[in-house]
Every structure is written in C-alpha cells, then in structure tokens.
Structure 1
Amino acid sequence: MSQDQSLSAFVGKAAEEFDVPGVSVGVLRDGQEFFASHGVTSIDDPLPVHERTLFPIASVTKTFTATALMRLAAEGKLELTAPVRRYVPELRLADEEAAARMTVLNLLNHTAGLDWHLIDGDEGDGSLAAFVAKLAELRVIAPPGTRASYSQAGYNLAGRVIENVTGLSFEKALASLVLEPVGLANTFFDPDDVMVRRFAVGYNRGEDGTLRAAQPWKAFPAGTRGNNPGGGAVSSVSDLLRWARFHLGTGDGVLPAKELRRMQEPTVPLRASTLGDAFGICWFLREVDGVHTIGHGGSGNGQFAELLIVPERNFAVVSLANAGPDGYQFNQSVVRWALEHYLGVVERDPEPLPYDAARAGEVVSRYESDAMDLDIATDGSRLTLAVGIKPEIRAASEADMPPDYPAAGMAFLPGDGDEYLVTEGGLKGQRGFFTRDEAGAVVGVDLAGRLFGRAPEAP
C-alpha cells in the first residue's frame, strides 16, 4: 500500500471511530505532500471535505501573530525585550507593577502573568483597542517573567502591539507582514471571505451522544476582532502545510533564518505539560522518542486543529476536525500515527500510579480561572477531574457554548507526587501538575498549560 493509501485508510478509519463528520489531514515529508480527507462539511448540507476546505484553526493563529512580531523586531521596528507599554502606552492592569514590567517577549512565551482570557472583552465595538481597555479587569496570576501560563489575552494584547507599531489594523498588518509574502491565499479572518468558499461546520456532542451544530461558528463570534490575534484565523490543510514549509525553510525574505530558528529554541520550561517540554517563541517544544518537535494546537467551538513540525526530519503533519470533544482525540491519533508511520517515532504514554488516598485528600477541591471551574473529586477508589465554563458566564452568554467536560478519571504520575495524567474522557492524555505554597499546601493546578487557582472557599 502506498503512503497516500495508508494515510487515507487510517484517516477514514479514525474519523469513523471517533465519529467526526469531517476531517482533513496533510503530511509533508522531504518536500512531498500527502493529503487525506474524510466525511462532509455539514451533516445537514453535506459537501465532501478536501485539502482546501476551511476550518477555524483557533490558537494555531498565535503562530502567525508571533511571526509577524518577529518580523517587526528583525526590521528594527520593535524590541522583544522592551516593555509592552512602549508600544501600548494605554495599557492598564490590576497590578501596576506588572503593567510596567511586562515585555513583548513575555506575551510571546506566555510568561506575562495574565489569566487565560477576558471573557467579556468583546463588548463595545469589538476592536483590539476595546479589548485592551478592559484588561484592567483581568486577574494577574503571577509577576511577569516568573512562570508560564497559557494566555489568550496575552496574544490579543500582542495584536495591539502590531496595530500600534504599524498603524494598520491587525488583520491588514498580518496580511502584509506574513500571509501574503508566504503565499497563504486560503487563510482568512473575515467571515465574508469564508462564506464564498467551502468550509466545515463545527459540531458538539450532547449528553445523549447526538451531534449539534456549534454556534458561533468560530471560537469567537463575528464582530469580536479583539480576539483575532489569539485565535481568529480560518485556514486549510493545504495552507498550513505551506506554513510548515516556511518554518522549515530559510525565511523566504520574510524573516531571517536565524530568527525562524530562534522561535524554535526554548525560552521557558514547562512542567508535566501535554503542550510540551518548553515554550519557544510561541511554539510548543516537545521531545518525542528522542526527536525534537515544534507545534501548536487549537480548540474552538466544535472545531479542533493540530500542527506538528519535526525540523530535523523536514517533516510536518496537520490535522483538522469538526467535532468536539472527539476531534481532539482524532487529531492526537493522527499525529501519533504519522510520526510512527513516516518517521518510526513512537510516542508512549506515562504509566500512572495506583490510587493513593492521602495524595487524593490533598488535591480534592474546586479550582478556577477567569472563565472556567475545575473540580477534582474522589469516591474513595479513584480521582476524577471535571472542567466547565462558569455557570454565570454560560447563563449570561447569548451564544451557544461548548459543553463542559464531565468528571473523568485521573491519576498521579511517578515522581514528586504532584504530577498527574487524565486517563479517560474528552481530555484523555492531558498532563499537568499541582502547585504548592511555601507551607506545602496545594494552591493551584495546571491543565493544558493554564493555571487554575484553588477557589477561596475551597478547603
């Protein structure tokens, strides 16, 4: 069986196994491209998915934003180590010292100390300026530069840096700096550009197992431009493989090769994280079976995206899926299969420890971010983890939101006792760790690179 046929066979089988309506996958190996798609763009109005079908790529957008900032830095128009306020003097935060100290690099490697996302930051005219004006309401979770915590808000603020430095809207600046010179002709932000092309409708699975069309279509509704830098792009497998070629290359006159390589070098370590072993400049850096990889994922409303690049093997894989939460598991299975099938690189899951009642008692509690609650509980024989959007936020929203992740098994990993693995459910395979204060008490938990603090009323 040829590589094309093997890829198509696996993608079709996996899409049916995870019951995802439409998927699109691409592999780049030594300059040769392989594509495989399966299913339809929409259950109600079906069209076959192909490599140019558009999917919201959510946080994979951050790689475009970071590359645009790197180009501005290479051209001497900004300094990565400079305070953000040099370029966004209007910035105000709840912590004035943090606002003064925060650098552009802190935004790019998620060490700015900002919570994940300002959930109502799209009020007003939906612009980046309006988003930044509300940042004073966002919790500062750590002094800038002291720890990594994945932040959508930080990348939206980075988008405002681009606007103020270039004098253009973020979308026009990104097109000029990155999209057009790299040749990404099938990547968009405006729904008006999307609706005249083939695109995939997202779906969420209800408690009864049925799929329901996700609304809003993108992770953030139309008119909320303030979220575009962190997650607003729409693209295709064909364009994302071209994007991978660019980051595997010499910069194509857009960015010096040394700056491309700089983006792939560690800037801050990550502990027990599914995202990777470290953040580069935007990229998640991860060693798999002794091989260095860079990548980024994205999750939207019923849509999941995954991009993984192996620089030393001139290899990349892209996987896009239009159902939640199962699209995440589909994408992970595709990446693992592609690494093993094309490169002989095998990713192995860590082996969890048996249930420990004493350890469980230390961590059972509610934890929270600005937008979500995370509940860890025990029935005396196992630990479970549940994650959901805060009820007050869900109730206040006029748009449909993705369903919560119900309680699913988790277990501690060997080591110091503070690292864990989710063993089942939609978050299966996610790793994280618990944070302790100076007295040794558990005060927080990291999941998907985001810090959830122990709720004040929690024991």
Structure 2
Amino acid sequence: MSHHPAVTVRGVAAVLALALGAASPASADVAPRGRPGDAVRTALNELVGGGEFAGALAAVREPGGRGRDYTAGVGDLATRAKVPVNGWVRIASITKTFTATVVLQLAGEGKVGLDAPVETYLPRLVRGNGHDGRLITVRRLLQHTSGLPDHGRAIAGTFFDNQHRYFEPRELVDLALAQKPLFAPGKGWSYSNTGYVLLGLLVQRVTGRPIGVEITDRIITPLGLDDTYWPDAGEQRIRGAHPRAYKSRTGRPGGEPVDASEMDPSRGWAAGQLVSTPRDVNRFLGALLGGRLLKPAMLAQMKRTVPVPGAPRGWGYGLGLTKIRLSCGGLAWGHSGDVGGYSTRGGVTEGGRAATVTATEKSLTAEGDKQLDSTLDTALCAGRQPAAGQALR
C-alpha cells in the first residue's frame, strides 16, 4: 500500500523522490499555457506526456506563504474531466512522516525513548520466527533498520483482490512476523511499512488514544490542515474533489488502466492511511522543518540519516524523513508515497521552499519514478528565483 518514501516496492530513488508543478491557487486555468520560463509546468507536462500517468497536480510554496498550483493531463479517463486544482489524494507513505513526528513529540515529552526496545512499549508482541522486540529499538523502526520484513509481501492476491478488504493493524504485524527477519536489528536497511504499523500501536499504548486522533490533535488541527484527514474505519471514498487514480490490471506497463480511486486504506494504517492535498503537505513539511512541531533536539534526531542502498548519491533516510540532494546544490527534506494509483512526492528545501506533486498512475515503472524525482528537483530548484503567485491560505 502506501509504500514508500524511502525505498520499498518501487525502489529507493522513487521512494525518496518528490515532484511537483503549479498554477495560481484560485485560477481555473492553472498556469497559463505558453508562460515563458515556467520550468515546473514544462516538467509536469512531460510527466503526463510519457504515457505512464493520466494526470498530475502540484503545489509550490515559498517561505513567506506565497505559491502556485499546477495541473496537467486529465482527472478522469472516462469523462476527460480536468484535474482539480489542489485536489485531494491519498498521500500514502507520507503518512510516515506524520507518525514519526508524533513519536518524536512523545520522545520530547519524556514518554518514549528512541533507543528503548520496542518490548518496553509492546511487551511480547514482536516475538517468534527469529524476531525479538527486545533487540529492536524505536529508532530502528523509525529509520527502517529493524530487519522486519514488510507485511505487504505476505498478503495473498493482487491489489484488486484486496482493494476493498479491511485489515486490522495486528493482522498486518502477524503477516510480517510469519516471515523471517531480513537481517539482525541495526545491521542493514530495508523499507518496512510494518515498522510504522508497530509505531502506531506504540503511540496508542503510550497515549491511550488512536493514532489517527493523535495525528489529528497534534498536527492536523494545530496547523490548520483543513484538507487533511485520517479516514474512518471502512471509509473507501475520498471526501473532496480529486483526480481518479488507476492501476494496470496486469500490473505491467501497457495493461488496461482500472479505476482504483476507491479502496480500503487500512493496509497502510500508520504507515500510509492519510488523505491530503499538495498545499497541505507543503504546509506540514514547512512547519515541521521550520521547527513548529518538534523541539530542536528532536528535529535534529529526525534529520540524522543512515545510508540507503541504491539511493542517489547524497540521499539518506532519517526518522521518517528523507534527505534529498538537489541538482542545484543544497538539500531538501521530505518523503514520498505510492498507493492505489496515486504517486506523491513532497519536500522542502533548507531555505524553506516546499513542493509537492501527485501523479495518477496508469502503470508506474522505474522510469516513471525517475521522472517524478526529476520533476521534484525541478520544482525545488526553481525556488532560486521565486515565481509570482497568490498567497496560499
């Protein structure tokens, strides 16, 4: 499901990829055609022109809050409707950054120890088949160095077989623990959605409240992210205006694109359940890296990265956060997520320029991932010369 911001099903580069586009927030004809020098619009048009994506939408936000929105392609293959400006999408694994932020807030409050074993908070849950929660720390779950396999690999059938199935978090953990560890804790790196499901359970054990409520009360509400929400149990439809998302029936390029917009997101849970918009993701990442959500010591911990095998040079993974080295110099921090035909990349530069892009898949390939990376890089690097735009909310 929401699979990766760091490296999982589609590959490291994809996982830590980001992208975007834009056009003035309130304008109906997002980013006027033929606007000279608009590298972001060009990149977004090229993204949908390659045949892998039906449509794309993006938002760029300057440090002062001004920004632009972009759309390209079509929002519905059947009706040929336009992609809605700042539409709602499943942000998949970008949820991990929200979950990690809550865990780090609890650590800053002295309620969770980053180097304490998972066993401390979830007694005897991670045991058997070579797994031992006494050897896996909270930090290792956050940075994907636990050695835990991903539960997605053990779910029988195709995406379409499980599209409307509800999974309990404990069921996801059991699916993962039925597999052997990938490596000894701390001795490797492998993207694991299961690690974040455990973090969600940990938050619930420590706070006595659902992880979705903690994310809402600690992040969504304080930041005024009005278009971001945690879907209710069994809620399969996206609430607001959104582009339709597609997946190939065969799972291969060129296969018939099937509408996958409605699905049960429980397979991702604390690793990938949230729905949001490009503008809201930008606001969240800007607030996070701007120090509004975490104490300085905790933000510093979040940005301590480990190498990711196969990732582009200079990239790394911290505690629910990806470090991206830009072609124009400098760094960006963000995450990516892919689920049910939605591929989203979001990031913010150290200078405070944020960008998020979502492309609706027809069939996602390694080349498509590279295009998303490139689009993100274009959007963030274009910030060297701020573009005019209307102020965002």
TM-score grouping bracket, smaller chain normalisation: 0.7 to 0.9
Q: Any idea what the Cα deviations from partners look like across 1:86-136, whole Å, max 9, x if unmatched?
A: 111141333556322111111000011111225339999722233334443
Equivalent residue number for residue 30 of structure 1: 63
Who is 1:213 aligned against? Answer: 258
Task: Give TM-score, length-normalised by structure 2.
Answer: 0.76
2:286 to 235, 238, 245: 245
* Counterpart Cα distance in 2 of 1:38 and 1:204: 18
Q: Contact (CA 8 Å) 1:188, 1:194: kept in 2 or not?
A: no
**What residue in structure 2 maps to residue 203 of structure 1?**
246
Q: Deviations over 1:59-111 (max 9, x none)?
A: 11111110111111111221111111111114133355632211111100001
- Pick from 333, 357, 372: which aligns with 1:331? 372
**1:375 aligns to what?**
none
The alignment partner of 1:101 has SS state of coil
Give the Cα–Cα distance (whole angstroms) in 1 for the partners of residues 151 and 312 of structure 2: 20
Query: Is the CA contact 1:82–1:103 (under 8 Å) kept in the aligned structure 2?
Result: yes
**Offset at residue 214 of structure 1 (A):** 4.0
Q: Which amino acid aligns with 1:59?
A: S
Q: What are the Cα deviations for residues 11-65 of structure 1, in whole angstroms up to 9, with x where unaligned?
A: 2343234452221111223323121112333212454323431111221111111
- Aligned residue for 2:7? none
Q: Does the CA-based 8 Å contact 1:270-1:276 persist in structure 2?
A: no
Aligned-pair identity in percent equals 24
**Which secondary structure does the structure 1 equivalent of 2:268 belong to?**
helix
Match of 2:355 among 317, 342, 350: 317
- Among candidates 94, 99, 107, match of residue 65 of structure 1: 99
Contact 2:131 2:181 in 1 (8 A): no
SS of structure 1 residue aligned to 2:41: helix
Letter in 1 for 2:301: R
Which residue of the partner structure matches residue 188 of structure 1? 229
- Tell me how far 1:333 sits from its aligned partner: 3.0
Runs of 4+ displaced beyond 4 Å: 1-6, 121-125, 191-194, 205-208
Map of 1:251-270 to 2, 5 A cutoff?
Answer: 251=292, 254-266=293-305, 268-270=306-308
Q: Write the distance in 2 (CA, Å) between the matches of 1:8 and 1:150.
A: 32
Gaps of 5+ in 1: 345-459
| 2:118 corresponds to | 84
Corresponding residue to 1:105 among 104, 120, 139: 139
Aligned residue runs from structure 1 range 95-174, under 5 A? 95=129, 98-118=132-152, 119-120=154-155, 126-174=167-215
Query: SS at the partner of 1:21?
Result: strand
Instruction: Return the offset for 1:230.
Output: 1.0
Letter in 2 for 1:262: Q
Does the CA contact (< 8 Å) of 2:337 and 2:344 recur in 1?
yes
1: CA distance, partners of 2:81 / 2:132: 50
When the two structures are aligned, how many residues end up with a matched partner?
A: 336
**How far 1:315 moved relative to its partner?**
1.8
1:234 corresponding residue in structure 2: 275
3-state SS of the aligned residue for 2:307?
Answer: strand
Name structure 2 gaps, 5 residues minimum: 1-33, 157-161, 386-393
CA RMSD of aligned residues (A): 3.0
Q: For 1:343-382, what aligned pairs fall within 5 Å after superposition? A: 343=384
Partner of 2:28: none
Give how far 1:236 is off.
Answer: 0.9
The one-letter amino acid of 1:48's match is K
Contact 2:58 2:86 in 1 (8 A): no
Cα distance in 1, alignment partners of residues 254 and 36 from structure 2:
34
Structure 1 residues 14 and 271, CA gap change in structure 2 (3 angstroms)? closer
Structure-1 residue corresponding to 2:341: 302
| Deviation of the 1:6 alpha carbon | 4.8
Matching residue of 1:41: 75
Q: Which SS does the other structure have where 1:322 is aligned?
A: strand
Say whether the 8 Å CA contact 1:109–1:280 is kept in structure 2. yes
Report the alpha carbon displacement of residue 329 of structure 1 after superposing the two structures with TM. Answer: 4.3
Choose between structure 1 and 2 for higher RCO, CA contacts under 8 A separated by at least 6 residues: 2
Structure 2 distance, partners of 1:20, 1:48, is 14
User: Hey, what's the Cα distance between the residues in 2 that align with 1:104 and 1:296?
Assistant: 19
Higher strand fraction (1 or 2)? 1
Distance 1:35 1:132 in 2: 39
In the alignment, the residues of structure 1 paired with residue 346 and residue 313 of structure 2 have an alpha-carbon distance, to the nearest angstrom, of 12
Q: Return the alpha-carbon distance in structure 1 between the equivalents of residues 229 and 124 of structure 2.
A: 28
Matched residue SS, 1:273: coil
After superposition, the C-alpha distances for 1:271-312 in whole angstroms (9 at most, x for unaligned) are 44249632211212233344122221112232211112211x
Contact 2:107 2:113 in 1 (8 A): yes
Contact 1:4 1:34 in 2 (8 A): no
2:44: which partner in 1?
11
- How much has 1:213 moved relative to structure 2? 2.0
Three-state SS of the structure 2 residue aligned to 1:318 is strand
Q: Looking at CA atoms only, which structure, 1 or 2, has the larger radius of gyration?
A: 1
Contact 1:4–1:35, Cα closer than 8 Å, also in 2: no
2:149–2:177 contact (8 Å) kept in structure 1? no
* Cα shift readout 1:145-174 (whole Å, capped 9, x = no counterpart): 121111111111111111111112221222
Q: Distance in 1 between matches of 2:346 and 2:129?
A: 35
Partner Cα separation in structure 2 for residue 180 and residue 296 of structure 1? 21
Shift of 1:141: 1.1
